[in-house]
Structure formats: C-alpha cells, structure tokens
Chain A
C-alpha cells in the first residue's frame, strides 16, 4: 500500500515536472490550439495546461501577472501591443539565441507578422515572440441577402452600382444604410455591427480601421512622437467623422458598447447585414455555413489607401517561468511547418510562409484570400511599453465623440494627442 502511494506520488511529481501552462484569450482559436497541442504532448510527454481568459479581462489579467513577476504562465500568447512592455520591462525571454540554435528563421514567417508580433524595437532583429496567430480586422456580410434579385435591383436603382463587396467606405455606408431598418423575411434588420466598446480596446480598433484607410499616420515619420498634423490630420478627422456617421446611420439599436462577441451575436442572430470583426472568428462563422451561401468575407475596404487594423499575437516565453526549457521546446515544435499547416487546418491563423505561400492556400477557405490581402496592409496601434496609457484616452475620447455625440472629431483627436504627449513625456520619449 505504501509502495503504491509512493509510486503514485512520484508519478504525480514527475507529471507536474513535465507540464507547462499556456495563457491566452478565451476564444475559438484557443480551442483549436488546445486540440493541436495534444500532438505535442503525445510526441514529447509534456503536458500543456491552458488558462484562457475572457477578452474583456485578458489584458488586465495577463499584464498584472507579468508586472507581479508571476509564475502562473510559462508561455503567453500576448497581444501585439504588449511586445514593447514585454521586452523593455523584461517580461519576455529574448529568443534570438534559441532561434539560432534550433535553426528557426524569422524569414520563414510573414514579414508583417514578424514585425508586429516579434520585434522590439520595431523592425529590429531582437525577437521576443514567435508569430503565433495572424489576424486583422475584416468584414463579414450576409451574402444570401445580397444575392436576392429584388434587393439587388432596388440597390442598383438607388445607388447606380451593384450590391456586392464594397470597394470603399462610402460604398460600405451605402450598403449598410440600405439594410438599416429594412424588413427581410418578416424581421427588422440593420446595417452593421461595428466596434463601439468602451472598456478595453474595442472602439479604438474599430475607428482605426477607418483612420488607416483614410491614410492616418500616428506620427511624423521623420520625427518620432511628433503627432500634431498627423494623428489629427484632415484625413484622420474625416475618418472619425465617417465612423460616427456609420454608427448613427447603420448600427442596430443598443449597439453602443459592442466588440467581438456582441458583433458576432448581432450577425449570427440575423440582425445585421455586416459585421466588423477579427479573422479569428471567421472559421466559426463559416463552419455554420458549409456551402458558403449565407456569409461572405472581405478585407477592410480602402478609402484613400488600402489598410487594415492589425490583430493577432505572438507566443512568448515568460521570463519568470521555472520551466523555460519546456516552454522553448513547445515553441520549437510549434514553429515546424507541418505543425503550422495543421494549425491553419484546425482554424488557427498560421503566419508561416510555407502555409501562406502554398498554391492551395487562397482557395482553402472562403476567407483565406482576404486574410492574405489583409496581412499585406496591416497597421497597428502604438506598441510602446506604455500602450495601455495610450489606449485609454483614445477609448474615452472616441467613445465620447462617436457614441455619445459629444464635441467634434478634431477636438477628440486633439485631446488624445494632449494626453499622449503627457504619457510620452513621463516616459522620457519627449
């Protein structure tokens, strides 16, 4: 009996020693990763425990953990904006030596994802993450409604062009407002479920989709952190005004604090013709529409330039982990092209060139081409270590203008710059 107890105990100790914990957001791709990781465990005997945190609390939970030098996570799939803080404050292990030793080359991954998810300072050769989940903000639309002859002819009569994938934001507005309040199959429908969330990053991710398309730059390319005339340029102001117009004319009633799940719900329940969301959700939308009749997908429309808001994450080893060797083993396995192909097949968005450049990739799903197009035009929010301090004033000012209808777009952008200057000054950047 004692022997049995001892052997059971030692087994449990061993199994604990050969286990790691991975932290990520709670969403569809995380479930796909969990499925994929079973193969890693089968190959290596290393158990991987997962802790998935709901999106609204994701940043709070993970950044608190890192700031407290917590050992809960060995691996973290953190948002692209965290890379600056991860590197500067020493939360993430620098992976250059490991990549060199294991023959993992960053040139095997899509350049946009390496730049966004792995490097700090941006564009340098210092790598703190392996691109794990490519993502960008895109659009889904009700193809089945678009295919109805009576709606098509009514739209063409009204606007003089065909109802279809919008070529720019003006067309997007035309189409969204066309569906606003329209009765289809006995139900009242609305135009578009767009990002309006106030608490974390929602409305910023939404409005920047428009601002990037209008050609907004955060700063003077020749003078870092000089934002006057760039972030509040006439184009940027016009984009913010347009986003408010889109919200006022096309959002369903009560869509005043909505982000990923709320947009998805509004779309799935048949309330809206369009939804703005991350590519990460398209496998789920597509799965319920096996013959592709109901939903179509497209990359963020251009206005003055082609651009899309970057999402996605890299996978990093947490500096405070006692099991860095096991965590690195996971990264080594995850970087393998065959694993990356399975990752895509399961619904994850691989950033590996072998997957993305495969001739069959663009037709592998209905949204694959859009994903490829988007990843070539992505732009991200500040990735500075102080990105949360930069995000919060933008959330407040944009929500105040777009949802609350308070003030002017120029006033909101000026106010944001004012707050950002204060943040950069406190950080010694200005």
Chain B
C-alpha cells in the first residue's frame, strides 16, 4: 500500500510534515525555546532562586562581566588545554590502534571488543573508579607507574601539576576507541587496488601510508575529532566525579564553572551570558572546522 493511499487526501508534502512534525516540535520545545530564553535572560539580572524578584534589563552588562573576569579566562585556558591534549592523544593513539586492527591476525575481533569497552561505560562511573585507580596508597595506576619507574608516592588528583594530566589520561583511555573505530571505518574503505598500484610503482610502506592511507583516513579522523572536540568542550560528569574541578581550580573546566554559577550560585542572568558565549565559541569553531574539513575532503 502506498503512503499516498494510506493518507488519502493529504499531499506528499503534508505527509512529510506529519512525519517530521513531532521531531520539529520536540526540537523547538527542548532546544530552541531554552536557547532563546537563555539569550533573553542573559540581558537581565535574573536570579532563579530569588522568588518574586522581577528580572531587570541590564543590557550587555553580564557579557562584559563574563569577558572581563580573570577567573573565566583561567577556566577557558584549562578547557583549551584539556581539549588540545585529549584530541592530540586520541588522534595519534586512535589512528595507531586502527592501523593495528586493520591487519588480519588471530584474536583481532576479541581485541577490538576489549579496546572498545571503556567507551561503553558511563562517564560518571569512569570518574569514580579512576579515583580509586589513582589512589596513591592502593591505586593500580601508581603501582604500575612505580613498577616501571620508581617515583615514590604521588597523588595524581591532589596535585595541581598532575591533576590536569589525570583527566586527560582518563578521557583518552575512555574515548580513544571512538576515534579508533571511525579511523578503522576509513581504513577499510580504502580500495586495495590503490595499494596494489603503489606496490607496482615500488612505493615504500611509508610512502603508501603518507600518500594513500593518511589522505584517505584524514576526513574520518577529522570527523571523529570534531565529535570529540564538541563533547570535550562540554565535559562535565567525569571530571566532577574525578576531581570536582580541583585541586583548587586546576581542573575546573568552563562547563563545571557554568554549572556552579547557574545552579549553585543561581546567577541565572550572568550564567546565561556565559552559556551564550560558550555556545557561540563552539558553534563558531565548529563551523570553521567543518569548512576546513570539507576542503580537505574535496582535495
């Protein structure tokens, strides 16, 4: 039975709208409306916990305050550093693992399944159990490090030098499999005849990697990094469970600070402005990145 017959009297366009209508409504209700509302609130001095106090229009005051606050820039710096190192490590290790698993060997499928396991866990759970792994007295991490190189007692999450690395390591452990999977999909889409032709032309393995593998897999890798970048810009649960943003504010990412301003201090107007700034930042970066990615694909 054709769709047209089933929805007798409705045009194809109307049927189309009927299908996408609920999704559009849902999107408007839970994405667009809150976004518009947050933008509106960002121009007020609204405090959600001060019942009965009407919000007053304050113009760009909240935006100026956010952008002039030194502490905000510190959080942005922490976020940028976290993103840079996690993306770099996930790109290198993810690609490396994909190259490894792209070869046929015994136990390949089992190994793939094991490598993929961490990304199936809840970030909050990962945060909690890594606090135990990092425990200087009984943690496995410290034991392993000291097994290879005796550093004595060190506290990964209690030291401002090590704590940023602690969150980078956990995120890399958890999400490298994601980058690996996407890269693996890219590798498997490279036609074999390209390598055969390269062999005929006496290209070395390194040349094959540089001129065939890398260009083929790069768009996939960039896509994976885009997803990871967006996710890590919003990173919250794992870090809160692991370090609570500490010691001091050494691992307080922008998203953690935003949550504290919005739902602990209840500075709704101010935090809305901060949220809009973060949104514009990630949206802007995302767009530029996608354009660059498309150019690379076109090459």
Which A residues are within 8 Å of any B CB, using their own CB? Answer: 60, 63-64, 67, 69, 85, 89-90, 197-199, 252-257, 271, 385, 388-389, 392, 396-397, 399-401, 403-406, 426
Contact = CB atoms under 8 A, between A and B. Distances in A.
Contacts of A89: 49-52
B135 interface: yes
A90 B53 CA distance: 12
Given A60-B263, A63-B49, A85-B49, A406 B157 contact: no
A426 B267 CA distance: 10
B260 A254 contact: no
A154 to B, nearest CB: 24
A257 B241 CA distance: 11
A64 B49 CA distance: 8
Interface string B34-72: 000000000001001111100000000000000000000
B137 A199 contact: no
Given A396-B249, A403-B246, A388 B158 contact: no
Contacts of A197: 244
Q: How large is the interface on B (under 10, 10 to 19, 20 to 34, 35 or more residues)?
A: 20 to 34
The 4 nearest A-B residue pairs measured at CB: A400-B248, A256-B158, A198-B246, A199-B244
Nearest to A390: B265
B85 interface: no
A67 B49 contact: yes
A330 B244 CA distance: 38
B81 interface: no
Nearest to B135: A254
Most chain B CB within a 10 A radius of its CB, from A69, A271, A400 = A400
A67 B158 contact: no
A252 B158 contact: no
A232 B266 CA distance: 26
A406 B160 CA distance: 9
Nearest to A391: B264
A63 B45 CA distance: 20
B298 to A, nearest CB: 47
Nearest to A400: B248
A257 to B, nearest CB: 6
Contacts of B48: 67
Q: Which of A85, A256, A271, A397: most chain B CB closer than 10 A? A: A256
Contacts of A63: 49
Given A63-B49, A405-B160, A252 B137 contact: yes
